[in-house]
Structure 1
Amino acid sequence: MSPPFPYKLPAPMDIYSDRHVPVAGLRQSVRNAAYLSLLAADAFIGRLDSVAAKIARSIDWTNWQPGRPTVLCLQRATFIKDIGEMRLHCDINFVTLPTTIVKTAQELWIPPEWRMQSYFTRFVDEELAAYLPYLERFGEALLRAAGKTHPIDAILAANTDYWQDEALRRGASRLGLPFLVLCRENYTIKQDQANVLNHYKKARFRYTGTAVAVYSNTTRDVMKMMGAYPENSVWVTGAPRFDRWREIKYIPLHERDCVTLLSYAYPIYEATENFREAASIFAEMANKRPDLRFVLKLKKDNEAADALALCPQLKQSRVEFVADWPLFDLLPRSRAVIGCNSLAVAEALLADTAVIVPAWRDALANSNTCLYHYSVPAHQKCIYFPRSAQDFSDLLEKAVRAELPSSGTAMDRRACFAEHLHSDENESSSVLVERFIRHYISQKK
């Protein structure tokens, strides 16, 4: 099981170019010799098993019930929201393992310059072939240790190309267990599709798991174009965390007590100049209407710094900065929801509220990078697109007076939502994911 010696790894490839990059710190050959010497030691080989067993004790078996399949979920943000919803509606045990623990254990012996998402599956078959037996042993030992508490029927991850998941993918294959993915990446924006295809082509990525469930038809089509997945292995299910909107209760417009701005201060939304103006108008309106709550919805608390850097007026206003208020609770209470290039905008379309997407200055300047655009008639039916600061101010005035209704029919709004997230009127996404999981469990070796 020991790797061949002497064994010198080539310099790692920069994922953004075809050149090779130098490694910081110790010389490359010294670093690789140190790592490989560690792997060769008998003490380390035995240590793999004990570390894997210790990690298995971190699995959360809460609410496990006998008589139904058990799926080990590699816990991540957003993905855990899907798991939470499926626990309510599926006849499956979803038990969770924090991926940070699995990652940290492997960082002790996988050189840092090789921990590249998408590229890692090729590395372990080529440049890092000497490490493959150890990855397989570690993954298999972890799954065997987990199975001593209760048998594991499948593994479910949040993405197809995480380097830290490769050991469990390989270990699951050795044990005849399906390694499945409910992919939290969703390729529905044209520019993203081009970037993703180019990235995976450069990485020569291939999926080493069993199958993948995705949120949209577009994402499935992009994955097919990659040629990296087994035939017929990509299923469209939608995102279970949105199933709750099927049970949404309508609140009359005049009874709603919030106006919500979904923060788009971060450069990825490509509307920083617009956010500066829109947030300033929002802050000014908040100070005029103490009877309403003006909410700046963040994904994470640390995003507040980006918003304040662009719009210092927010700090002196009545605007509430919140990250932990669930959209399912917040949006139905909102007289209007303002946002740009965020899936939360799509979610707002299900809340029967006025959805405003600013469209001046840099906002929506490139239609290929937008979720929704004023040039698309179907989007115009359901969304208000103010083309100037004054237009936005006028719409906001109407909203706070409870005089701005939702736009378009419920069917129109759901169709806009479904452009980015699969939505089936007859079956929930939880049901579709359960069918996907059971199909592959029934085929396991």
Structure 2
Amino acid sequence: MTKTTSDLRTARRRYATVCLLFWLPLGLTIAPLVLLFTERGMTLAAIAGFFAAHSLTAAVLELPTGGLSDVLGRRVVLAAAGLLNLAALTLVGLGTVPWLLGLGMALMGAGRALSSGPAEAWYVDTVQAHSGPGAELRTGLARGGSATSAALATGTLLGGAVPWLLGLGPDVGARLSGATSGLVLPLSIPLLLGAAVEVAFVLYVLTALREPPRPRTTLRDVLRGIPATVVGGLRLGARDALVRRVLLSAGAAGGALAVIELLTPGRAAALTGASESGAVLFAALACAGFICSGIGSQFAPLTARLAGSGERAVMVGLGISASGLLLLGATEVSTGVGSLVLAAVGFGLVYLGFGAAGPNKNDLLHRRVTSSGRATALSVQSLALQLAGALAGLIVGVLPPGPLPWLLGGAAMLAGALLWIHRGGSAPPTRTPGTAPLAHSHVRDRTP
């Protein structure tokens, strides 16, 4: 085995480990978070405000923090994301008043924005430094996607089961609350475990993610470089047709995820007859969805080979997700066993398709950008997903219950898949002499 091969395997392993350590703490919050807020005496309106603080903070900081990673480096920004999440999980886990809980959720949103892109950008930078701009990226990206899905699935299960596994019944929970003036509740423990994992994440990032030294920069250089990088990312999305398809596909995925996240809990509660048992069913479904996403990510390189190109693989993956949403819509009005089985299959197909499409889509994106704007491009993609998800959530909220919201989500995913139907090949574009890097210019799109 050559040194280059060994270095590439090391980069893949470290990238997958970073994905695992970053998403495990957030997975631990999925099951207990809303229930913890309720235990703290928060109203539904207050809880909605906490989530709005998270989403708005992430959206506002998405592009500036992507530019920060391109200017300062991947490792320092990832470490900062871990520290913000450490503070956020501690505040939310121990906070008892609304302003502390809101601050914790806002810090979590800031950590999410900081983390959007640097790890993947580090991996691509490292691989291309060893093997050139034509290096194979899908395998490592797929492993990172699988590690993310595994972390979320494991975290979801542990977040719901840890209080029971530790024997924290009502009596023990009452003793805990009394001994600590109500700071620690049984539902707080998964978040505090997540905070401990964040410490491991920060230490791993600082010691394992080596990157070439960057030129020494002053605060003025940083502040001057971020706007230029952000503008370059926005120009790329406006002028490069392939990147535009990536962004539109991300928006379609954001809309579909909003439909899933808003409607599935209520559907699960209606099925089981109680909100508590519905929450347990939703946690199990979420875990199964993450597992399906991980399987899809693992098969992303094979999907590209069978489909004939990365672009066709994206079309196939998004088409699978669209079929899952349409199946969920078609089974909304029926409660028979057969319909329930088909609905479960549809739920799995949504995440399986996302997993298969993601690495192929990002492989195409990375071949259109340079290192100087890579994290920014990923942040633009994440921003498209978040904004489309917020808009879809507002639309779903005013639609009548029934199949229509599911079918609209499926139609959006189908439109995202059709964006890729007439394109072939995924080679990087040819740059004309004198073309500037992505952060300050745009890359010309290939014609069919």
Q: Same fold (TM over 0.5)?
A: no
TM-score tier, shorter chain, comes to: under 0.3
Query: Counting helix residues as a fraction of each chain, which structure ranks higher?
Result: 2
Larger strand proportion of the pair: 1
Question: More relative contact order in 1 or in 2 (CA 8 Å, sep 6+)?
Answer: 2
